Chains A and B, each alone.
Chain A
Amino acid sequence: MRVSRRDALRKLGMGGVAAAAAPSWVEALGALAQGHLHPAPTPATAPADWTPKVLNADQDETVTLLSELIIPATDTPGAKAALVNRFVDAVLEDADEHERKEFLRGLEWTNLRSREQFGTDFKSATPALQTELLTAMSADQPATSADLLGRDFFRAIKSLTITGYYTSEVGMKQELGDDGQMFFAEFKGCDHPEHGAPARAAAPVRK
């Protein structure tokens, strides 16, 4: 059975990580992040001690840039600080040949389009022009069928960025407020009478 490009990119992007990192209810019940207003920190690991396995230096730079455009640093760090590019490279390394090829083709399409429209590679375009092209790529219905690859590639890199960011140390600790504590005395559920919770015995008063 031939796997279409769209299927390949979708498979790569959705990768199942989101759905299966934990049983569904565990994922769903993971507590809501609180107090995510921290100053942006420096990355935990300096980028210099790593080299990509699949991406070349240019491609790695472009992926880093794209991921940061999708989830930028705000009051918390963004995808670049979360080293999402390394996650993308790891996924590509492990992916089927067809998926890897389609992703790299999409990356190349982005540069081609940038050169056509702005006369320069994507990474050398101004932030405003980068955003303009990405906005066009993010449209559900591209202007022409020739742009379908751009749309599918956007969906894949966005999906990888989401998964890579929110499962990174930076993303979990700073954006989601999950500091990695593993031992809890209790799981405290609902104690609202309006939701039907039984009245709790009053806590003993400590003197």
Chain B
Amino acid sequence: MTEPFDVVVVGSGASGGWVAKQLTEAGLTVAVLEAGRKLDPAVDFTDHKRPFDMPRRGDRYGPRESREEQRVQSLTPQCNEYTHHLFVKDTELPYTTPKERPFLWIRSRQLGGRSITWGRQSYRLSDLDFKVASRDGFGVDWPVDYAELAPHYERVERFIGISGQAEGLSQLPDSVFLPPMDMTCGERHVRQSMKTKFGRTLTIGRTAILTANLNGRPKCHYCGPCDHGCMTGSYYSSPASTLPAAERTGRLTVIPNAVVSHLEVDDAGKCKSVYYVDRLTRAHREIPGKAVVLCASTLESTRIMLNSRSSKHPNGIANGSGVLGHYLMDHVMGGGAGGVLPMLDKKSAPTSNARRPNGCYLPRFRNVTEKHPDFLRGYGYQGGAGVEKWGHAHTIPGFGASFKERVRDERRWTFRLGGFGECLPRFENYAELDKDKVDAWGIPVLHISMAFGDNEKKMVKDMSEQAAEMLEAAGAESVRAYANPSPPGFAIHEVGTARMGNDPKTSVLNRWQQAHEVRNLFVMDGSVYPSSACQNPTLTIMALASRACDYLVEEMKRGAV
């Protein structure tokens, strides 16, 4: 490793894996630095563990040591007794927030990052999102439009595999789909009602799970809990898909346990090397590269840049504008409703124990054709219908044989909808280096200051009301609506803080995700988002990376990086 690599990639998650694949396949030598360890699926994945294999039956908050060491991580349902080892320890990786502005920062450090535990929902953005400021005057347009990104969506989709149903909606362009998963009776029923009464399209979730064998990976076997890790690699995770492809080129070097602290620059201010601390030995090392691509995740990539201070870059690398760290966003959740579908009976319940690891999606309908009087932008819903198994036992009174019989008899069809809303980009939602605190490896931690505003709160109210109205219109009973905006970070869709744009005064990166001020520094994760849209971000992050990698390869070929 004395020779400098063509490209050093920081982070091995969904985007880092993609970048490694595309760059090595284009003939470049690539080192991927990963802060965490390499997982052993036989030990670390718990997808085939049953509740009774776990001491506390898969407890929501995990064992005592997890509740103590992972006070933030354990707040997300994804971090539980099955999976807590796939999330960081907050005690090792603290961050600070103002008291009145809580932010949940949910993180994984392992080869594959959060692509091991992600929700896999995958939706394209449209020009409604890319040309957003031109439509409603708030914020900025993206420096890329749909026509330019569409071929990159397709390239990513053809490799990782997205199952779904084409619906021909302008606000949610169709992907190149593998066969859709089936809807349940309850979902079909509600789909019909929403179509007829509201002109809205409830579609099966579009998900990065294979419904047909693809590129050497077997299709899903419907065991259910993907977020426990997938033994067969049937959903997209970088270790099951892009990283092996990169490895096959012979040009990939993966360095686990490399906790990146900052970037070293030369006299001209260009990146010279990536500086890291060995997670296990605490030894300090430097790895030189002709170019650096940060895929460390939103906030982590920004943290590395803020911590890369030099005489050329006194406020952090690529931060002459002072924009680095600002315009942090996350989708707002907390509005929705659930109800019982009395028109369906147990006879229409599924007859096998196969578990569909997917729900349904109701695409955005606000501010698409008509302007909403109360808020800008919009939200989509995730949800679905199924038959209760035993959770309803907690609501049945009494005890004894009659109670047990009622649990059997009263399995109802229920339907739920929960919204994911767009968050407006605001300068005052930001992250900066905390001046006093360092993590377990001696690296300065972030101070994160974010709150949702009036627009998001009004949106959550509408999510709640609309969900209830649609459920009632579909004949649902016992409809319960809720409207409690989630704390920022809870959606784990954090984006922004190193946004791309055409104006170097108001953005960190140019339209190719290359730092305006440092031509051999690129960022290819969620940090680059100029606005959050309301769709789950990972697919778009990867499509953007595909486009930016094409540019990086061309620029390197002509010696311009």
Contacts and interface: CB of A to CB of B under 8 A. Distances in A.
Interface of A: 14-34, 36, 69-72, 74, 78, 87, 90-91, 94, 131, 134, 138, 140, 158-159, 162-164, 166-169, 172, 175-184, 186-190, 192, 195-197
A163 B223 CA distance: 21
B48 A182 contact: yes
Contacts of B183: 189-190, 197
Contacts of A190: 182-185, 187-188, 348
Nearest to A95: B64
B56 A90 contact: yes
Interface residues of B, number: 67
Contacts of A192: 185, 188, 348
A122 to B, nearest CB: 14
A30 B401 contact: no
A179 B50 CA distance: 11
A182 B400 CA distance: 32
Given A17-B56, A138-B399, A36 B408 contact: yes
Contacts of A138: 397-399
Interface string B377-416: 0000001111111110110011111011100100100101
* B interface majority secondary structure: loop
Contact of B416 (A24, A26, A94, A162): A24
A90 B61 CA distance: 14
B282 interface: no
A25 B384 contact: yes
B188 A195 contact: yes
Nearest to A182: B223
A31 B349 CA distance: 7
* A interface majority secondary structure: loop
A73 B64 CA distance: 33
B63 interface: yes
Given A181-B353, A187-B354, A32 B399 contact: no
Contacts of B416: 24-25, 28
B221 interface: yes
Given A69-B399, A187-B182, A29 B59 contact: no
Given A17-B57, A187-B355, A189-B182, A195 B221 contact: no
Contact of A184 (B221, B359, B388, B389): B221
A164 B55 CA distance: 11
A25 B121 CA distance: 13
B384 A28 contact: yes
B85 interface: no
B181 interface: yes
Given A172-B52, A196-B189, A19 B77 contact: yes
Contact of A188 (B61, B182, B224): B182
B141 to A, nearest CB: 35
